[in-house]
Structure 1
């Protein structure tokens, strides 16, 4: 069969063809007044015999094989089929759009041959009449399509009897194909709709502040450019609270400092974020290539409060080294800690990535810490194990996992 792709729009000539058809019907075909008696062209055959599916139409009838060799009858047949197809397309689209004002994607017909669809409906209904009721079309249209398939394959598909239409062996073979074809098309439609769904939606995200200033903000800028239909809600809190609200199913994804602290959380990816000593360029330690925790004894600092994973790691490292720091200021804002470090002689502790904008601007300096525990610190992307993620959320999570693994490498 010849497949014609695309949506065939109704042309102004359709109105003239309808007038011609009405004239033929009134005159009973006598004289053929107002009707061209030219030989049908291949284009006429394609347009006249296209199936009713307005998106993909199949040539299933060769009109010059019908009604003998009489050109007049062939011309009448072509005009009738042209009008029938145009009228059916209009009625189908209007009916589906009525009420809502727009066509819903789930109401559009599948990309399936009309002849195969009619054949499948007749098989399942048991008769052409019942299939016509289900499809809301004329029984004669179904009969023509069934006959066209039989002529195309040169086989008989049905045994017609008093109990209805029963498939022949060839018919059963074609029916299995029709069912498999429909299943594949349904699967394709589901995947296409899921793809469209992935481009829309809302993602709720909780993160530690350290990831927001550089890494996460750059990721979200790229996401908004590539997927403008996805909106992201960001909550910036301490690492412990991130784990808590992810565990309460209040957000889709979370970035915590260190490993996931709860068993009901799934770790999607980890990214190393070694802690550094952050000081101003004027600080006495600014010129050091690195330093140990023992060398920090008595250091005047501005520290994140204990809700931050950074503070917890520094406290453990100092306890192991038996070192005490002089905490001059404590805050729940890493931005405030950076500002204090850049304008005073106070030092703070942050991942280099967090302070990178200020480092590149020359306001701060990052001094690596020679400590196995502090060098191995990391952030972890987590989600609740029992949470059902939307397609858009799964896509964003996959993109973020890829970005984190790239940074890790």
Structure 2
């Protein structure tokens, strides 16, 4: 049976990203009760009708299972709204449990396959928007060539949403910018990313070895929105940058910010990993910020610390770390590291 890798944006990936359904183990073989699986999909889809289409199950069957579950528990799990269904606090607690069970089930299945000598399983991964054009394609190609029976769901999210996805069991693994230390999360690998600005090769700043914020502010800016930690960091450490009228465009789309830089006029404050593909091909130039206190950003690969990662998650995490290292090496002109 052919197994596909999916680049998928889940419901918790906000802003401009659209929603799609990730690949999951066959419902017929799940050990998690059908009522919980149906309720989980209703929570994700927002309505019974949408969940029915996603699961290829009659809407009446889903509704009946949820009503029976609510009757057994003695509490409503959803608010019935004119345009859909919304979890109650009790429903949210139950769905969190159900998602952990589903995640555990995938781990058990992967371990059984490992004992049979087969690397087979499914991993839900959440990553940053900038990884979509560099790290993720390399990871998918690598797994497809070396481990074709391992399937992926890859969701693109903000750092805050990626962290939440790990902690609620919606993701098995995450690559996150500027991850805050938490006991609930286990960091498998991290790397410092110098703070800098990127410009087109023909830009007046392109030949500089370093640049100050003051020098960069003399040109039009493409600023990332406050949904991203790098913007919040800049506002906290360099609030003066935002006090006077400036020539800037603010966007929650890294792709748009990069396009403005590629146009030759705009400056973007970011890290090398955000623009790795364009640095590798020479389309953009990265210039470190020399201002005192300009702290490096950071990329981390993490899992839920409350449960040890299964063998398939470990396998994917190793390949993800390798892809990140290769991407950074190529962006910095160091060649590709071999594993």
Q: TM-score with structure 2 length normalisation?
A: 0.56
The answer to which structure, 1 or 2, has the higher relative contact order (CA under 8 A, 6+ apart) is 2
Compute the displacement of 1:205 (Å): 0.7
What are the residue-to-residue correspondences of 1:87-236 with 2, within 5 Å?
Answer: 193-194=113-114, 196=116, 199-236=119-156
Note if contact 2:203-2:265 (Cα within 8 Å) is conserved in structure 1: yes
The alignment status of 1:316 with 2:259, answered yes or no, reads no
Output the CA distance in 2 between the equivalents of 1:325 and 1:287: 27
Deviates more, 1:334-343 or 1:191-200: 191-200
Deviates more, 1:312-321 or 1:301-310: 312-321
In structure 2, do the counterparts of structure 1 residues 322 and 340 end up closer, same or farther at CA, with 3 Å as the change threshold? Answer: closer
> In structure 2, the residue corresponding to 1:326 is in which secondary structure?
coil
RMSD over equivalenced CA pairs, Å: 3.2
The alignment status of 1:285 with 2:205, answered yes or no, reads yes
What are structure 1's unaligned runs of at least 5 residues? 1-189
Instruction: Choose which of 362, 375, 383 in structure 1 pairs with 2:303.
Output: 383
Write the deviation string for residues 122-170 of structure 1: whole angstroms up to 9, x where unpaired. xxxxxxxxxxxxxxxxxxxxxxxxxxxxxxxxxxxxxxxxxxxxxxxxx
Q: Partner of 2:189 in structure 1?
A: 269
Aligned residues: 220
Compute the displacement of 1:261 (Å): 4.9
Instruction: Choose which of 337, 349, 361 in structure 1 pairs with 2:269.
Output: 349
In structure 2, do the counterparts of structure 1 residues 239 and 402 end up closer, same or farther at CA, with 3 Å as the change threshold? Answer: same
Compute the displacement of 1:213 (Å): 2.5
Q: TM-score with structure 1 length normalisation?
A: 0.47
Note if contact 2:128-2:158 (Cα within 8 Å) is conserved in structure 1: yes
Instruction: Choose which of 155, 166, 178 in structure 2 pairs with 1:246.
Output: 166
The alignment status of 1:398 with 2:323, answered yes or no, reads no
Deviates more, 1:399-408 or 1:206-215: 399-408
In structure 2, do the counterparts of structure 1 residues 350 and 384 end up closer, same or farther at CA, with 3 Å as the change threshold? Answer: same
Output the CA distance in 1 between the equivalents of 2:227 and 2:133: 19
> In structure 2, the residue corresponding to 1:233 is in which secondary structure?
strand
What are structure 2's unaligned runs of at least 5 residues? 1-109, 330-336
In structure 2, do the counterparts of structure 1 residues 298 and 195 end up closer, same or farther at CA, with 3 Å as the change threshold? Answer: farther
Compute the displacement of 1:270 (Å): 0.3
> In structure 1, the residue corresponding to 2:306 is in which secondary structure?
coil
Q: Partner of 1:363 in structure 2?
A: 283
For the pair shown, which has the larger CA radius of gyration, 1 or 2? 1
Compute the displacement of 1:243 (Å): 0.7
In structure 2, do the counterparts of structure 1 residues 366 and 391 end up closer, same or farther at CA, with 3 Å as the change threshold? Answer: same
